[in-house]
Amino acid sequence: MTTFRIIGPGRAGRSLLTALDGVGDFVSRGTLGRHDCVVDAAQGVDLLVIATPDDHVARVASMVRPVPTTTVIHLSGSLGLDVLGDHLRRGSLHPLMPLPNPVIGADRLASGITFAVAGDPVAGRVAEALGGRVVEVEDGSRTTYHAAATIAANHLVALIGQVERVAATIGLPLEAFAGLLHAATDDALTLGPRRALTGPAARGDWDTVEAHRAALAGMAGHRNELAAYDAMVGLARRLSLDPATTGRGGAPDADAVGGVIAPTSVPVAGDTTVEQVA
Mean pLDDT (whole number) for 104-120 = 96
pLDDT > 70? residue 101: yes
Please report, for residues 16, 146, 149, 197, 266, the alpha-carbon distance to residue 127 in angstroms, rounded to integers and kept in the order given: 10, 18, 18, 33, 44
Write down the CATH superfamily of domain 2-137: NAD(P)-binding Rossmann-like Domain (3.40.50.720)
> In this predicted structure, what is the pLDDT of residue 84?
97
pLDDT > 60? residue 276: no
> In this predicted structure, what is the pLDDT of residue 245?
52
pLDDT > 90? residue 141: yes
- Spell out the residues 6+ positions from residue 225 whose beta carbon is closer than 8 angstroms to its own: 162, 165, 166, 216, 219
The domain limits of the chain are 2-137, 143-276
Mean pLDDT (whole number) for 24-49 = 95
Higher-scoring residue by pLDDT: 50, 218: 50
Please give the mean pLDDT across all residues of the chain. 88
Query: What class has domain 143-276?
Result: mainly alpha
Provide the Cα torsion 183, 188, 190, 192; round to 10°: 160
